[in-house]
Structure formats: structure tokens, C-alpha cells
Amino acid sequence: MKAFAVALAAFLLAPWSAQAAPTAPAAATSIPVLPSATSAPAPDKAFGAYQRGYFLTAMRYALQRLAAHPNDAAAMSLLGQIYKDGAAVRKNDAEAARWFALAARLGDRQAQFALGLAYLEGDGVKKSFRRAKALFEKAAAQGHSGALYNLGVMSLEGGDQNFARAAKDFRLAAKAGDTESDYAMAMLYRAGKGVARDSAKAAAWLRRGANARNVDCEVEYAIALFNGDGVKRDEAGAAKYFLEAAAVNNPVAQDRVARMLASGRGVPKDLVQAVKWHILARAAGVKDPWLDQQMKTLTPQQRVAVRQALKQYVQD
């Protein structure tokens, strides 16, 4: 997944914790193919086939729909995605952009978003920030959460940063279901850019994203809970969110939960599980000399248990 750096990182005055500072948001680049409310009758069979991985069948159904309804923008958008993915056909960004452009002209918000991404990255078309923004604005006007998020990111690019506009777009995107925007709003409140600085509101946005299983939000909300930053201190609650993020291989969360297990803070002390998570975090590049020392205290039986725990975790 491609991404580009944004200026949001520059205004972070201090890390959110000594161990894990939040990262700046990047442009949303995923393109979920959904039937558009602005299109002709949605290509149900085509979309269903695509979802099941029957890409040639999906392509055939989409072409059949276009033969019957030449202005079926949802079918056009699906064909664009098939060429973008290189699914059933050779990957062809230029052909994907052509189909997205046809659907975008008919008002399909998903195609507008996808074509905006193509202009943003220069995939199959000449790179153009201006055209990408114009397309995102059209999709955003129809409530497309990814387009709103990208507009928020764009407001932080270049010399004309507009944090208030970014906050507005991120807020709308979050309400439309974009969890990356929950994280972005939390960072804005944390730094006091575009909104008044407010650690309680920052924590509330993190909680919202964490409960929607956004991993970055889970980690940062757990840190906030552990430190009592903008929210009542709750080590057991912090452990819950760290464990959720650790289970999907976030190395910072794995390191944090290892420390909590090793010291019995927020969870019952369990050195075997602590070392398991430490080894996984260390394999991902997170160094922790204190946990290295804890490993040295393992008994031979505990070492066997750690190996078994790692084996079961990797197999799962």
C-alpha cells in the first residue's frame, strides 16, 4: 500500500509516551469496491463473484450489465478495480484509470475516489495533486469517508497548512466510519492544532477508534489508560487494548503487554506469556533490555513453556 508523508508529524510537540509516539496519518489508498448509490442498478452478480474471487466471472457479468445499461457506473468501477488489481487480467493501471474516469463522469463516488488516488500516485495517469483533490471533493460531497480523510491529509501538505479545515474533514470522515480519522482527530486534539488542545477529547477519539479495532488507536488509548492521560487511569483496561493490538502483531503493543505480564500490572503476573510477547516484539525490532533480563530468570521448565506458547501462537 502506497502512502505519502504529511505535515501532521511536525506539530507533535512531544511523544505520547516515552516508548511509542504516534505516527502521522498517510493518504488512504485502499479501494473497497462497493455498489454506488448514484449508479444504474448495482452489478450484484458481478460484485458477488468478485467478492468470492471469481474475477473472470465478475468481469463477464460487469460487461453484460454494460451491454444492457451503457451508463452503469458501478459496473465500470468494478472493471476498473479488476484491472487495478490485476485480477483475471494483466494489471493495467492505465486501463483501470480509463474505467474509473468513465464511471466518475457519471457521478460514481467510488470511481471518483479511485481515480483521485490514481492521480495522487501517478498510477496510469500523470500525477496531479490538483486533479486528485478535485475528485476527492466530488466524492466527499457524496459522503465518501476515504475521500474526506484524504482531503484532511491534503490540508496539511505544503506551505498552506489549514489545520481547521483538516479537522473538519477528519471529523466528517470519522462520522462516516473512517477509523484512521479517529486517530487523526486524537492527534489534533493532543497537539492543539485546528482545535483547542484537550487531552480528554483526544482520549475519547482514541477510544472510539480503539473500539472499532483500529490498531493505532488501540495502542495509544492503552497508553492513555495506563498513564491516566485524559482519562481515568486503568491498568487493567490498558492491558485489554494492548492485548488486542498484540494479537494482530503490533510490536509496540506486544512489548507493552510483555512488561505488564512480567510485572503483574493490570494482569496477573505470567513470565512465560511475558517472554513470549517479548520475543515476538524483539523479532519485529523492538528492543527492551529490561525484558531481556527477565528472560534470564526463566527456569528450564518455563523455557519449554515459552517455546510451546510461541509454537501455538505462530500456528494460530
| Secondary structure (DSSP) of 133-157 | HHHHHHHHHTT-HHHHHHHHHHTTS
The answer to whether residue 110 scores a pLDDT higher than 80 is yes
pLDDT digits (tens, 9 = 90+) for 75-102: 999 999 999 999 889 999 999 999 999 9
Is 258 within 8 Å of 274 (Cβ atoms)? yes
Task: Among 1.20.1070.10, 3.30.70.270, 1.25.40.10, 3.90.850.10, name the CATH number for the domain at 52-142.
Answer: 1.25.40.10
- Model confidence at 25, pLDDT cuts 50, 70, 90, reads low
The pLDDT of 203-226, averaged and rounded, is: 98
* Domain range annotation of the chain: 52-142, 257-316
Is residue 257 over pLDDT 60? yes
pLDDT tens column, 137-153: 999 999 999 999 999 99
CA dist., res. 195 & res. 129, Å (int): 26
pLDDT at 28: 59
No. of helices (H) and no. of strands (E), the chain: 16, 0
Q: Is residue 15's pLDDT more than 60?
A: no
Confirm if 73 and 107 have CB atoms less than 8 A apart.
yes
DSSP state, 249? T
The model's pTM: 0.81
